Amino acid sequence: MSEQAIAYLKENQEALLQKLYDFLAIPSVSTDPAHKEDVQRAADFLTGYLNELGFENVEKMETKGHPLVFAEYTEAGPEAPTVLLYGHYDVQPVDPIDLWDSEPFQAEVRDGRIYARGSSDDKGQTFMHLAVFEAFLKTEGKLPMNVKVCIEGEEEIGSENLYELLQDKKEQFQADFAVISDSGMAEKNQPTILYGLKGFTGIEITLTGPDHDLHSGMYGGAVRNPLMAMSHLLASMKDEKEVITIDGFYDDVEDLTSAERELMEKAPGEDFVKATNIPETVSEKGYTAKEHTMGRPTLEVNGLFGGYQGDGTKTIIPSTATAKITCRLVPGQDPQDIQEKLVNHVQKFAPSGVHVHVEKEKLSAKAYKVEPDHPLIKKAAKSYSKAFGKETVFLRMGGSIPVVEWLEAAYQYPIVLLGFGTPEDRLHSPNESFPVDSFQKGMETLAYYWNEL
Amino acid sequence: MSEQAIAYLKENQEALLQKLYDFLAIPSVSTDPAHKEDVQRAADFLTGYLNELGFENVEKMETKGHPLVFAEYTEAGPEAPTVLLYGHYDVQPVDPIDLWDSEPFQAEVRDGRIYARGSSDDKGQTFMHLAVFEAFLKTEGKLPMNVKVCIEGEEEIGSENLYELLQDKKEQFQADFAVISDSGMAEKNQPTILYGLKGFTGIEITLTGPDHDLHSGMYGGAVRNPLMAMSHLLASMKDEKEVITIDGFYDDVEDLTSAERELMEKAPGEDFVKATNIPETVSEKGYTAKEHTMGRPTLEVNGLFGGYQGDGTKTIIPSTATAKITCRLVPGQDPQDIQEKLVNHVQKFAPSGVHVHVEKEKLSAKAYKVEPDHPLIKKAAKSYSKAFGKETVFLRMGGSIPVVEWLEAAYQYPIVLLGFGTPEDRLHSPNESFPVDSFQKGMETLAYYWNEL
């Protein structure tokens, strides 16, 4: 059955790519109010396509922000499983525009790659799903499973309204499992299924000493310097062996099994030193860099500032110091609990002589993990391997995708992270691109997968 | 003899104030290229006044930046001492202009204070010297001493060209001692002579990890965070008892004598908590806040920055962290030696995994101290007490005045810091002002002093 669909995809590749380019041409930059209408147009493109395919209940759900595109396909019948397809049609801004080698919203193929904003993240990957639906419908006249489509327009700005929508319309989004293609392969043409994501929480700390910047000669020796106080406080959170020294931070961490550690060791991956030009990697005592990035929690200072930042010297004791801190969490850890432990640590270890203010990060998420031998995952891996002609690897990733945690919390069903990006795609950067052959093989993977179900 | 001069100053107060207001009306903001011509006009005002007084060799010495006003008076004869009068005619910018209650360059007297930028720092105090010269010349026909006038236009931007000029024209600026009125009293109407200033040095540290900001999920656990590394490094420089933990930092510090500690304890001064709204003072273990500010070295982080500073969260590992650090030094400490020790400390204690770059502060200065019972100081104190009707106090100050160190290094002569500002003058801030009666009594102090010599 999938053979016919795959033949269709091959025969119609040019037309499908042209349609994708039309989609990519809409500058649906969600963060920029100037592009509000464009975001709407991108949603209209999707509802148009879904109507064309004969999906039911095609709807542009308005939110406080940008709309979410919903649609259903139920003709596979009540015996067939229902998959929720999540994707997003909004994109990151294109600045700095000077660094693009071609127009960001005018797709151009160079060296086998489609260059355009959104080609990989996530318009391209979302479009692949719709094209595969088209192939089945044009050849078989039906899909092998029921579908609920949920393509949002606010992923790049934190999925602000999706969470509420999932709460309010829980029934409407109900399914048996979910598939998301918004991630990548460990390396090009290396079938990769993510079976775990990290959770997320954070705090912002402001230490205020004097109520205005002071002359360091007149007041130095009487007043606690907020920047030095902040340095002491931050240094008390993680030691030089990269072990987090917040009381109880590791209490609920699920240990890595030796099987997982082996999997991680074998997993292909970037050469961190080459890719980032650091002198050497550092990782938590007792764990390799790969193990730490994939499977151990982290605490990072994302921003730190206070005092004079211009050229030369300004001899002040600054009034304030601010630090932005986020943690990536692993299975077992509860984001609220960790956030509370961070706050307690700050209250306990902030030096005297400064006023302490802590702001809690609002968006927190638990880590996500599905067993790699879950039947839905095994079938996905089989399809992936078949399309790419190579054994699939299973990875946990250091990143977080909030919607994954929200879906799991709401429905407790498996989420299959079936992404086709490559490490060279330059997501969020100038010259974003996606390989033409990944487009083709990715669609084949999906066709095999739907058939396997 | 000084009585006649003082009578002249009283009788002509209005005219002298009017002349001062004309001087203050010139917006000689040295840091702002838009005011380049105004700075020249302020210098012209001074050369005009000095020519009017009959000074010799009146000269607007051009530099790479703003000019320095030089003039001589030699008619007191070879037996009389020669004083070098140092002052500056440039001023700080006036922003934020909204916070001024009257025009910054249109002097206005309210509640016995002259409100205008430069009224205290240092046009007002410099002008007082010229007015006293006028009083002697108009009444006695001559001054009791020889004078070299050195009034620069770049003090507020670091006296960049003065140092070179002092080297190049060492002979021209030669004198027996120097008087500087660019400081203040411990409190209004409390005669105060500064007998010590702190020295100064510094470094700027940049730690570079990855060559671009990284996704904290993808790389957290493999890459040293430069902001966390900087926190560890800075925390290693000073402990929470405010003791500097740089190896050898205190080696050459001249201990405070018990007499000095007593002097400091009795000295009037600000309530640090009230003035700055800090929860409490902190100072070096074993020393009070007064002792530390006046007589013990300090190390301050003046600026610290890296990563994301906007609203909300950006989950990056930043590429760089930068810290600006300066030290105030006390007698005995050598700025170059301390700078070297700072650099060595950074090299030794910077965590692994980051590239380390240290920039040395170019302007360093030794601490300055003159014995409070030096005859020139005692005479100054006597004159000060006579004019203000109150015993003079002797203070060391936490600030640094680079020209003081340069003069001392070049000529090894005493420098009398005879300042008339008050703690309420708001130097460098909106609504700078100077008391009318300090203007009068300050001039009387100078008249007595010249006579005492």
Q: What is the H or E stretch that residue A58 is in?
A: strand A56-61
Question: Final residue of a domain: which of B312, B327, B360?
Answer: B360
**Residue B275 in domain:** no
Question: Final residue of a domain: which of A360, A390, A414?
Answer: A360
- Could you tell me which residues are beta bridge partners of residue A203? A325, A360
pLDDT of residue A1: 62
Q: Are residues A444 and A351 in the same domain?
A: no
Nearest CB to B398; choose among A198, A209, A218: A218
> Is the Cβ pair B302, A307 closer than 8 Å?
yes
Closest CA of chain B from A257, distance in Å: 18
What's the CATH code of the domain at B169?
3.40.630.10
Q: Are residues A206 and A339 in the same domain?
A: yes
pLDDT of residue B1: 62
Peptide bond before residue B373 is cis, with ω within 30 degrees of 0: no
**Residue A315 in domain:** yes
Instruction: Give the side-chain half-sphere CA count within 13 A for B208.
Output: 11
Residues of A whose CB is below 8 A from B292: 220-222
- In a mutational test of the A interface, the residue from B182, B302, B309 whose CB has the highest number of chain A CBs within 10 Å is B302
pLDDT of residue B269: 79
A118 φ/ψ sector (left φ>0, alpha ψ -120 to 50, else beta): left
> Is the Cβ pair B214, A276 closer than 8 Å?
yes
pLDDT digits (tens, 9 = 90+) for A24-38: 999 999 989 999 999
Residues of B whose CB is below 8 A from A212: 276
Nearest CB to A328; choose among B214, B216, B283: B216
Domain holding A162, by residue range, is 2-197+367-452
Q: Are residues B47 and B179 in the same domain?
A: yes
Nearest CB to A361; choose among B223, B235, B313: B313
CA dist B306 and B233 (Å) reads: 15
pLDDT of residue B112: 97
Nearest CA in chain A to B237: A228
Cβ atoms of B175 and B303 closer than 8 Å: no
Q: Are residues A17 and A145 in the same domain?
A: yes
pLDDT digits (tens, 9 = 90+) for B47-82: 999 999 999 999 999 999 999 999 999 999 999 999
Q: Is B410 helix (H, G, I), strand (E, B) or coil?
A: helix
**Residue A288 in domain:** no
**Residue B286 in domain:** no
Question: Final residue of a domain: which of A360, A378, A406?
Answer: A360
Closest CA of chain B from A329, distance in Å: 10
CA dist A376 and A449 (Å) reads: 9
> Is the Cβ pair A301, B354 closer than 8 Å?
no
Closest CA of chain A from B130, distance in Å: 29
Q: Are residues A120 and A204 in the same domain?
A: no
Q: Are residues A213 and A326 in the same domain?
A: yes
Cβ atoms of A85 and A415 closer than 8 Å: no
Residues of A whose CB is below 8 A from B284: 221
pLDDT digits (tens, 9 = 90+) for A89-124: 999 989 889 889 999 999 999 999 999 999 999 999
* Sign of the C-alpha dihedral computed for residues B36, B42, B45 and B46 taken in this order: negative
> Is the Cβ pair A300, B351 closer than 8 Å?
no
Cβ atoms of A150 and A84 closer than 8 Å: yes
What's the CATH code of the domain at B345?
3.30.70.360
Nearest CB to A304; choose among B218, B306, B361: B306
Q: What is the H or E stretch that residue B214 is in?
A: strand B214-215
Q: What is the dihedral of CA A63, A68, A69, A74, to 10 degrees?
A: -90
Q: Are residues B232 and B133 in the same domain?
A: no
Q: What is the H or E stretch that residue B204 is in?
A: strand B199-208
CA dist A166 and A411 (Å) reads: 10
Nearest CA in chain A to B215: A399
Nearest CA in chain B to A184: B218
Average pLDDT, chain B: 95
pLDDT of residue A401: 84
> Is the Cβ pair A304, B230 closer than 8 Å?
yes
- In a mutational test of the A interface, the residue from B206, B253, B256, B301 whose CB has the highest number of chain A CBs within 10 Å is B301
Residues of A whose CB is below 8 A from B221: 242, 283-284, 287, 289, 291-294, 296, 298, 398
| Average pLDDT per 10 consecutive residues for chain B, totaling 453 residues | 91 97 97 95 98 98 97 96 97 90 97 97 98 97 97 91 92 96 92 93 97 92 98 98 98 95 87 94 97 97 96 91 97 97 98 98 90 93 97 90 89 94 89 96 97 91
- In a mutational test of the A interface, the residue from B245, B315, B401 whose CB has the highest number of chain A CBs within 10 Å is B315
Closest CA of chain B from A323, distance in Å: 9
Q: Are residues B154 and B86 in the same domain?
A: yes
- Where chain A has pLDDT below 50, the residues are none
> Is the Cβ pair A231, B227 closer than 8 Å?
no
Residue with tokens 């355009």: A116
Nearest CA in chain B to A401: B217
Nearest CB to A400; choose among B217, B228, B302: B217
**Residue A278 in domain:** no
Q: Are residues A161 and A216 in the same domain?
A: no
Closest CA of chain B from A121, distance in Å: 15
> Is the Cβ pair A300, B282 closer than 8 Å?
no
> Is the Cβ pair B353, A284 closer than 8 Å?
no
Q: Are residues B36 and B155 in the same domain?
A: yes
Q: What is the H or E stretch that residue A342 is in?
A: helix A335-349
CA dist B66 and B39 (Å) reads: 7
**Residue A276 in domain:** no
Cβ–Cβ pairs < 8 A, chains A and B: 280
Nearest CB to A282; choose among B224, B278, B281: B224
pLDDT of residue B160: 83
Closest CA of chain B from A270, distance in Å: 10
Nearest CA in chain A to B232: A235
Say which amino acid occupies A53: L
CA-wise closest residue to A339 among A204, A203, A211:
A203
- In A350-401, which residue ranges form alpha helices assigned H by DSSP? 375-388
- In B221-331, which residue ranges form alpha helices assigned H by DSSP? 226-235, 258-266, 272-276, 289-295
Q: Are residues A20 and A64 in the same domain?
A: yes
CA dist A211 and A322 (Å) reads: 14
Closest CA of chain A from B54, distance in Å: 39
Taking the CB of residue B176, how many other CB atoms lie within 10 A of it?
16
> Is the Cβ pair B221, A242 closer than 8 Å?
yes
CA dist B234 and A307 (Å) reads: 15
Closest CA of chain A from B293, distance in Å: 5
pLDDT of residue A56: 97
Cβ atoms of A159 and A403 closer than 8 Å: yes
CA dist A213 and A320 (Å) reads: 8
- What is the number of structural domains in chain A? 2
**Residue A268 in domain:** no
Nearest CA in chain A to B291: A221
Contacts of B443 (CB under 8 A, 6+ apart): B6, B9, B128, B131, B132, B135
Residues of A whose CB is below 8 A from B242: 221, 224
CA dist A226 and A356 (Å) reads: 10
How large is the ipTM?
Answer: 0.86
Closest CA of chain B from A308, distance in Å: 4
CA-wise closest residue to A379 among A25, A56, A81:
A81
**Residue A273 in domain:** no
Nearest CB to B305; choose among A198, A232, A304: A304
Q: Are residues A403 and A322 in the same domain?
A: no
Closest CA of chain B from A333, distance in Å: 16
